[in-house]
Amino acid sequence: MSTLSATNRSRQKVLGYPVDVVDEARALEVIESAWENHRSLHIVTLNAEMVVAAQQDSELDRIIRHAHLIIPDGAGVVWAVRLSGEHIERLPGIELAAAALDHAARYDKRVALIGGKNAVLRKLVDDLPVRHKGLDIVAWHDGYFTADEAESIVDEIAQQDPDLVLIALGVPKQEYFIDRWAHLFPRAVLIGVGGSFDVWAGEIKRAPKIMRDLHLEWLYRLAVEPWRIKRMGVSLPNFGFQVLQDRLRGTSGKPKNSGRDGEKNGR
Ligand code: UDP
């Protein structure tokens, strides 16, 4: 079984942000390793929008850099790494999260779900143990609670001692949440999964496979959720422009933000 430090050997940078060159099998090995060694593992699913958001948000910047495993969720991130001559394949967060649920079911691990609408969660609590046979969902809570309510909600979930916690609050809320509460889950794998619960519950459809294969999932999301144009319409061209600028200047990998380098490595 590979170790976390082995994973770090294949770490690339995109506009200064770390990205681990891992496929699903490798990422699952890292998850298994965390479970075996009773260690916490924070997984970030990096995409272009998140990189641009982090450049303008020092909290998000710090949280991404401190994550243990940063997977290439977005087509933009994959494109940027490939442009620097390295080989990398996309690993969508939603697919890794589903595979992690399979693993949790297989290895009798305890799962908690946080985020999404109440009705979505109720559906998942019924459906997921059927889809991932034997899955043990020990705790769940929807994602609509106040800052004052958060502590007692998280305390209650932590008391159930989950091994895998999926947090679907959207970026950057889910990253702030993980940063704030990870200390209560010292032996759990924590993954921010964005809109995955909505997809699993059938509320939202993923792009057809052909679009996913062509790395056009972002375009599909834009088409079905046009309100995203405000955010994506600025951040995606901004990201592309910066990556090209970096390539032309030969400065790929240098951070635009403060230049802090607080990445966790050597684990
Ligand atoms: N959400 C939530 N609480 C909030 C805001 C959002 O639980 O206060 C959930 C929302 O129901 C949805 C997910 O977070 O399921 C956000 O999905 P989205 O696809 O917008 O995430 P992103 O694009 O940031 O990955």
Angstrom CA distances, 25 to 30, 79, 148, 217, 262, stand at 9, 21, 39, 22, 27
Residue nearest to atom 17 of ligand 1 (CA): 195
> Average pLDDT of 219-236?
91
Cα gap 138→136, rounded to integer Å: 6
pLDDT at 250: 79
**Residues contacting ligand 1 via CB (< 6 Å):** 115-117, 143-144, 168-171, 173, 194-195, 197-198
45 CA to middle of ligand 1, Å?
A: 14
Question: Could you tell me if 128 and 105 are in contact, meaning their C-beta atoms sit under 8 angstroms apart?
Answer: no
For residue range 120-133, list pLDDT tens digits in order.
999 999 999 999 99
- Cα–Cα nearest to 101, from 119, 113, 116: 113
Per-residue pLDDT of 143-172, as tens digits, reads 999 999 999 999 999 999 999 999 999 999
Is the per-residue pLDDT at 265 higher than 50? no
Beta strands in 47-188 (DSSP E): 69-72, 110-115, 136-141, 164-168
Domains belonging to the chain, first-starting first, are 3-200 (3.40.50)
Contact 28, 99 (CB under 8 A): yes
pLDDT band at 256 (very low <50, low <70, confident <90, very high): low
What is the best residue among 198, 222, 230 to mutate for testing ligand 1's pocket, by most ligand atoms within 8 Å of CB?
198
- CA 193 to ligand 1 centroid distance, Å: 9
- Tell me what pLDDT residue 255 has: 55
pLDDT digits 0-9 by tens, 193-213: 999 999 999 999 999 999 999
Q: How far apart are CA 106 and CA 111, in angstroms?
A: 12
Q: What is the mean pLDDT of residues 60-76?
A: 98
| CA 121 – CA 93 distance, rounded (Å) | 18
Higher pLDDT, residue 56 or 252: 56
Least confident of 30-39, 86-95, 212-221, 250-259: 250-259
What average pLDDT does the segment 14-18 reach?
97
Q: Which of 149, 153, 169 to mutate to test the pocket of ligand 1 (most atoms within 8 A of CB)?
A: 169
| Rounded-to-integer distance, Cα 153 and Cα 11, Å | 35
- Per DSSP (E only), the strands in 99-211 are 110-115, 136-141, 164-168, 189-192
Using CB atoms within 10 A of its CB, is residue 248 exposed (0-12), middle (13-18) or buried (19+)? exposed
Q: Whose CA is nearest to atom 6 of ligand 1?
A: 169
Q: What is the mean pLDDT of the chain?
A: 92
pTM: 0.92
